Amino acid sequence: MKIAVVGVTGLVGTVMCQALEERNFPVSEFLPVASAHSVGKEIKFRGENYKVIGMEEAIAAKPDVAIFSAGGGTSLEWAPHFAAVGTVVIDNSSAWRMDPGKKLVVPEVNAEVLTKDDLIIANPNCSTIQMVMALAPLHKAYKIRRLVISTYQSFTGTGMKAVKQYQLERKGYQPKQEEMAYYYPIFENCLPHCDVFLDNAYTKEEMKLVHETRKILGDNSIGVTATAVRVPVHGGHSEAVNIEFEQPYDLEHVRSLLVAMPGLEVVDDVANNQYPMPLFAKGRDEVLVGRIRRDESIENGLNLWIVADNLRKGAATNAIQIAEYLLEHRLIASKQLAS
């Protein structure tokens, strides 16, 4: 397959390249793509050096798949141009997620919605991906009425600028305002401010959890409220998720459903201090779930603690898994082989 990674020099783009290598995705031709100021830079992929190219050159090459992680504005502008030449775009930004004509996919949950006609496919938000991995089998069994979500999200989710801000602050240097990804320091701090505030006083990140969860699970009746917090953790998002089911549930059955879910690992042995943490999730593709317990304050209530590496399953790995699914189910074929 001829593969383009758009936004290749960014934080997620770098991890996408690593994941393509690790998962042995069949790449016959690799096209590293970035903005004009990065064109000509060299990156390494599978032991070889490649020069970064611009959008026009990448489109002219007609890749089979273009995996985007270059921001919403870039995706809105350029993804249709790739699609116009027959390239399947898998986009990691928020640009297409709530477009009713675009699929929003976590392969373990709803890959069956994909067809040969899907040329722009949306990769969900990192916090949504890890959460629906745990929610999907439970919703199918007991139907979720309401979710109350609190997130504890790594600063890496904001990108390279946030990483640099954290590193400077950790060294005791106060960054200049233009060097800061956040309005306040992130080192030794927690910021209840993920993305921009909207008119309803929620942040965009919080509303992504509302809308994307409903779309992926295919149920707009689920009540969802969220508080998203940025924390000084390098390498993983954590979520406290309170679930209210419509039906009574059996706790052991809940555990068995979570254990059986592909890509999910139950880490829940509090007697031996075993529970999910970013420390355990960093660099891994599995979503970890634990602290599984009844909410004794409401009928049919359940609490979960869900952790995943936001750059892996929360972004890069999920996008590549979508491409793998398309290939495995013959929903995409190499244009090179076709010719």
Q: Would the CA dihedral through 317, 140, 122, 302 be positive or negative?
A: negative
CA pair distance 248, 112, nearest whole angstrom: 29
List Cα–Cα distances, 194 to 130, 177, 224, 244, in angstroms.
17, 18, 17, 25
DSSP characters over 31-100: EEE--GGGTT-EEEETTEEEE-B-HHHHHHT--SEEEE-S-HHHHHHHHHHHHHTTPEEEE-SSSSTT-T
Q: Do the Cβ atoms of 83 and 119 come closer than 8 Å?
A: yes
Indicate the residue type of 255. Answer: R
Annotated active-site positions, please? 126, 237
